[in-house]
Amino acid sequence: MPKPVPDFRDLRCQRPDLDRVRADYDGLCAGFDPAGDPGKQVAAALRWNRIRSRVDTARSLASVRYSMDTRDPGARADREFFDENDPAFQEQSVRFARLLLASPHRAALSERLGEQLFRIQEAAVSAFDPRIMEPLRREARLSREYTERLAAAEIPFRGETCNLSSLARHYSDADRAVRRAAQEARFGFFAGHASRLDTIYDELVGLRDGMARALGHRDFVSLAYLQLTRTDYGPAEVEVFRRQILRRVVPLAAELRRRQARRLGLDRLAFHDEAVEHPEGNPRPLGDGPWVVEQARQMYRAMGPETGEFIEALVGGGYLDVESRPGKAGGGFCTEFPDHRVPFVFANFNGTKADVEVMTHECGHAFQSWMSRHHDLVDYRFPTAEACEIHSMGMEFLTGPFMDRFFGEGAERVRRDHLSGALSFLPYAAAVDEFQHRVYREPGLGPAGRRAVWRELESLYLPWRAYEGLPHASEGGFWQAQRHIYLSPFYYIDYALAQTCALQLWSRSRRDPEATFQDYLALCRPGGSLPFLGILAAGRLENPFREGCLDAIVGEAARELGL
């Protein structure tokens, strides 16, 4: 049974002693009899799980504390410890996983532990070898440098000094000159750092390509799919999905942009206009960050007992950090502390409607983790990446009826803008994904080649985009602002796959909200104990890879938007 939730402020990062961990694995592996009793093998697997849970909890705490303040020397030292030692921890875990996978009692073990554990560990074993330990360390250092470089941004703008998160609130300013200036400041920052960002990515691509070849892969693409535990589909299925987006969604998104331009009274929409839906500006939350959190608390209480218990644990226990501040890492994420079976939500509020969007998105991840806390295996607390995003993007739509709490009279505009944004996002996600496939198929492209590829893909998937001379972005450098490309290779089409599923939940909830919420709970409870397609089946969702899957759901959304 899950333990009571401790207060986050009482948690401390206790770095695991690598020698002790090795000794624990030495004993565990030495005592594992491949032909022995299946019950004893299950007990050994549960001991292995406890070791991993201890290490994962410390790693998550180190990552969160560092993200909260990248300038804190102690937090940085803890993050560096894991960057340097994670490959060694991974090596030890893989030692035992190989023994477990070789057991002649797999059927009996699967009955007790679940077949998905074996799929996950087969991918983990295939994706690791001691020969790539040093490249993994170097990859982590480069990723940390990218994070710190962006977190340290100090951008003068209209009499204040902004970081990238706080500058973002000006992107949707009702004054066109202000939002243009904000984007100039944004891409001026990236232009000033372009050379080093190119070098970082050059090295990351080279390292990843080298690791893949060392493990016998033709390129990094297949290794990346293993690292993401994509066990029931591959690049061919993703390509089919991208083609559907190109055929079915890009024309609709282009029409949405044309209508947006007309609403704004513009002959042509420029990039610096894309974030603004209405001439008077986008609706904003009626209160500040703490007020948004309190409204979310009341909303989740009203949604049901499961969400009510969840939000009280998060807010009451201090497992939310949502205010932007100097030195804080950008973006938003959700993680979990396995030993305590509780998730943590990280975000950067900036006073725009994105605050509510990120709150509901990350709380969707966190709620899924909360609903999966009954699973003993750490592998089952979160699903694989593409399934994770269904819960977050689905939560964005399921909370739609509650937007009046946050936006008052602007709530209906928020709901329509969110639906429009869901469609417009799909082509961008496809462009990011194809960009990475191209880059890793041709690792020698270099900075100029990558910029040319990005411009080509923008013209294909985002034909309306007009930078109008914005520095760096107009030269094909926009992709450098997309953190996932640096930090989480190939983790982006996941959002598009999930958005397709979330739109199915939106459609169904319009007809039967209670039954749809029960389907959503059914999506959350399995955690990672099922592969992607199995989780879809649990929630009665259609497979996005099926040719024609987008037709009905995109058609319904288009009709709702008057297209």
Are the CB atoms for 400 and 415 separated by under 8 Å?
A: yes
What pLDDT is attached to residue 471? 87
What pLDDT is attached to residue 34? 86
- 121 falls within a domain: yes
Residue 563, classed as helix, strand or coil, is coil
Could you give the residue ranges of the DSSP H alpha helices within 102-244? 106-113, 115-126, 133-151, 164-167, 176-214, 220-227, 235-244
- 123 falls within a domain: yes
- 96 falls within a domain: yes
Dihedral sign for Cα atoms in the order 140, 94, 391, 416: positive
**Domain count along the chain:** 1
What pLDDT is attached to residue 1? 52
| Backbone phi and psi for residue 385, each to the nearest 5 degrees, phi listed first | -60, -45
Q: Other C-beta atoms within 10 Å of 18: how many? A: 15
- 378 falls within a domain: no
Q: What is the dihedral of CA 138, 139, 141, 144, to 10 degrees?
A: 180
pTM of the model: 0.93
Dihedral sign for Cα atoms in the order 284, 287, 292, 296: negative
Closest Cα to residue 131, out of 203, 20, 204, 213? 213
What pLDDT is attached to residue 491? 94
C-alpha 409/C-alpha 499 separation (Å) is: 26
What pLDDT is attached to residue 499? 95
- 535 falls within a domain: no
What pLDDT is attached to residue 2? 61
Residue-wise DSSP of 342-367 = EEEEEEEE-SSTHHHHHHHHHHHHHH
Q: Residue 24's domain spans which residues?
A: 8-131
Residue-wise DSSP of 17-38 = -HHHHHHHHHHHHHT--TTS-H
| Backbone phi and psi for residue 352, each to the nearest 5 degrees, phi listed first | -110, 175
What pLDDT is attached to residue 386? 74
**Long-range contact set of residues 553-559: C-beta below 8 Å, sequence gap at least 24:** 553/500, 553/503, 553/504, 553/507, 554/248, 554/249, 554/252, 554/423, 554/503, 556/507, 557/419, 557/422, 557/423, 557/503, 557/506, 557/507, 558/252, 558/423
DSSP state, 232? S
Per-residue pLDDT of the chain (563 residues; tens, 9 = 90+): 566 889 999 998 899 999 999 999 999 999 999 888 999 999 999 999 999 999 999 999 999 999 999 999 999 999 999 999 999 999 999 999 999 999 999 999 999 999 999 999 999 999 999 999 999 999 999 999 999 999 999 999 999 999 999 999 999 999 999 999 999 999 999 999 999 999 999 999 999 999 999 999 999 999 999 999 998 899 999 999 999 999 999 999 999 999 999 999 999 999 999 999 999 989 999 999 999 999 999 999 999 999 999 999 999 999 999 999 999 998 899 999 999 999 999 999 999 999 999 999 999 999 999 999 999 999 999 998 778 999 999 999 999 999 999 999 999 999 999 999 999 999 999 999 999 999 999 999 999 999 999 999 999 999 999 999 998 999 999 999 999 999 999 999 999 999 999 999 999 999 999 999 999 999 999 999 999 999 999 999 999 998 888 999 999 999 999 98
Q: What is the dihedral of CA 76, 82, 85, 86, to 10 degrees?
A: -150
Question: What is the SS3 string spanning 423-489?
Answer: HHHHHHHHHHHHHHHHHHHCCCCHHHHHHHHHHHHHHHHCCCCCCCCCCCHHHCCHHHHCHHHHHCC
- 57 falls within a domain: yes
C-alpha 235/C-alpha 217 separation (Å) is: 14
User: Taking the chain, what is the end-to-end CA distance rounded to the nearest angstrom?
Assistant: 50
Six token digits for residue 44: 């050994």
- 15 falls within a domain: yes
What pLDDT is attached to residue 67? 96
- 276 falls within a domain: no
